Copies of this chain bind each other. A is one copy, B any other.
Amino acid sequence: MCGIFGVTNNSDASRLCYLGLFALQHRGQESAGIVSLNEGALQVEKGRGLVSEVFSEKNFSALQGKQAIGHVRYSTAGGALDANIQPLYARVAGETIALAHNGNIVNADSLRQTLEQSGAIFQGTADTEILLHLLARSRKNQFVDRLVDALIPLEGAVTLVVLTKTEMHAYVDPCGYRPLVIGKLRGEGEEFSWIFASETSALDLVGADFVRDVNPGELVSVDLVSQRLRSTALPMQSHQSNTGEESRCVFEHIYFARPDSTLWGQNASLVRQELGQELARCHPAPADLVIAIPDSGTPLAMGYSQASGIPFATGLIRNHYVGRTFIEPTQTVRNFRVRLKLNPVKEIVRGKRLVVVDDSIVRGTTSRKIIELLREAGAAQVHMRIGSPPVKFPCFYGIDTPKRKELIAQKMSLVEMCDALHADSLGFLPQEALVRVVEKHGFNGTRNQGKKGFCMSCFDGTYQDSGAQILGNPEGVPT
């Protein structure tokens, strides 16, 4: 999970990039970076931390020029290395280029090994560096052709914005794991800028209009002089990642995307509300109040309330001041970490039978603590309802899930889980119901006939590509 952004032909390019990244901050808080193109040279500013921490006014005097791309990075294991902070930039075949990547290349290990054998050196641990080496090894003359050459061998989630001296490119892999939208920002007279962004909420903040999604398997290129936008379809037959299916990450809808973003033609907030309604139909509960685990559970809980007729209430208050580091008391305050973020409203929950709605359960530890807090605050019953199916398999497409054996749903039956969480009842949204909702309106408004549209591998273990199949099954035993 990361956020990417690009803007062309705007004298405010790096500042707009900053705003775009700010709007995408929920997609990555570990590091942020912007590269601008000024008089043929790339200028780079990046660092660890939030967008507002990394950038101050002085950075923008070093980010001149009318074209810029940016990146916010999610915290992952290999993350500490400064060499991994994106956008990456490098001289490739005599030209300096910059590149911002959201996703995960699942056949990275074998590609890296092959490249190293042919003399490639790697300065960081991010899989994005593989792409730079593939670019450098293409024999094509045109950059766009080199880029196609480099993209074809990649399996997994690859959503990119690339900046060269003459063009900006945006790409989504054939499975379409991660969203990437095209926007247009009108300037004076006939002037306009193209915007590429992970989510539409970034278009909103900079005042740009949504044009369309970048399609799965599509490479969109903007000529930085003419501003002409050109679409290249990748040769699917040779593409390593082509499975014949599209495979959008369903968790973008359930959890990741901002509720005000429109994902593949549907508003995330409305989808979540409908998922909550489905959840109410599938798993009713004898309760007095529906409450959410904020913020992600809120639209789900509202939907549950609407469909069930049980009133919604704000039973848990979230503290938004929580920062990165925190001083802990040396003496035990029970459930301290959860309390820092969430506090029950005693007067609301006391004596009530509660439906508590959350988006998902991964390890189960936080859910158990929240239920404990609610019971201490006087809740009579706690009926846990989850807006997605049980997560039983790790994700290899950019989401930082724990290993398979740490997933509570992998280890326990529904009854055991309910017991472990100390819930009075527990219900997950069935996968069919989830599919029904997210595929209801098709993608981009039109139904993709006969095509599977979403990746559900974390629920059912069905990975699209051989790379993920190998990662998901290290012991060689069928999952």
Decide if A417 is an interface residue (CB 8 Å cutoff). Answer: no
- Among A158-166, A332-340, A459-467, A468-476, the stretch in contact with B: A332-340
Cα A16 to Cα B334 with chains together (Å): 13
**Is A23 in contact with chain B by the CB < 8 A criterion?**
yes
> Could you tell me the distance between the alpha carbons of A267 and B314 in the complex, rounded to whole angstroms?
12
Contact indicator B259/A340 (Cβ below 8 Å): no
Give the contacts of A298-355 with B (CB-CB under 8 A): 298-299, 302, 306, 311-314, 317, 319-323, 325-331, 333-334, 339-340, 343-348
CA of A299 to CA of B204, assembled, Å: 26
Q: A207 contacts B136, CB within 8 Å?
A: no
Cβ–Cβ contact B88 & A116, under 8 A: no
Contact B347 A269 (CB under 8 A): yes
B44, B119, B205, B313: the one contacting A137 at CB < 8 Å is B119
Which chain A residues numbered 118 to 143 have a C-beta less than 8 Å away from chain B?
Answer: 118-123, 132-133, 135-137
CB pair A260 B345 closer than 8 Å: yes
Partner of A122, one of B55, B91, B117: B91
Expressed in whole angstroms, the Cα–Cα distance for A302 and B305 within the complex equals 13
- In the bound assembly, the distance between CA atoms of A10 and B204 in angstroms comes to 50
| Separation of A139 and B82 alpha carbons in the complex (Å) | 30
Chain B residues near A345: list those with CB within 8 A.
259-260, 267, 269-270
**Using a Cβ–Cβ cut-off of 8 Å, how many residues does chain A contribute to the interface with B?**
91
B-facing residues in A84-105 (Cβ within 8 Å): 88-94
A133–B121 touching, CB < 8 Å: yes
Residues on the B chain within 8 Å of A82, using CB = 46, 82
In whole angstroms, what is the CA distance A120 to B53 when docked? Answer: 34
Query: Which residues of B lie under 8 Å from residue A299 when comparing CB positions?
Result: 314
Contact A317/B258 with A44-B81, A121-B132, A137-B119 known, Cβ cut-off 8 Å: yes
A205 to B343, CA, bound (A): 8
Q: Assess whether B93 is in contact with A116, with CB atoms less than 8 Å apart.
A: yes
| Pick from B60, B91, B259, B321: contact of A314, CB under 8 Å | B259
Closest to A311 in B: B306
Asked if A51 is an interface residue, CB under 8 A from chain B, the answer is yes
Q: Is A426 an interface residue, CB under 8 A from the partner?
A: no
Instruction: Return the contact of A340 from the options B10, B11, B205, B311 (Cβ within 8 A).
Output: B205
Kindly list chain B residues whose C-beta atoms are within 8 Å of the C-beta of A321: 22, 25-26, 50-52
Other contacts beyond A12-B331, A298-B314: 16, CB < 8 A: A10-B331, A12-B330, A19-B340, A25-B319, A52-B325, A82-B82, A88-B123, A89-B123, A91-B122, A94-B116, A123-B123, A205-B333, A205-B343, A260-B344, A262-B347, A267-B346
Q: Can you offer 11 A-B residue contacts whose CB atoms are under 8 A? A: A12-B329, A15-B330, A19-B333, A19-B340, A25-B321, A50-B323, A94-B116, A121-B136, A123-B123, A260-B345, A260-B346
Instruction: List the interface of chain A (C-beta within 8 A of B).
Output: 10-12, 15-16, 18-19, 22-23, 25-26, 44, 46, 50-53, 55-57, 60, 81-83, 88-94, 112-113, 116-123, 132-133, 135-137, 187, 201, 204-207, 258-260, 262, 266-267, 269-270, 298-299, 302, 306, 311-314, 317, 319-323, 325-331, 333-334, 339-340, 343-348
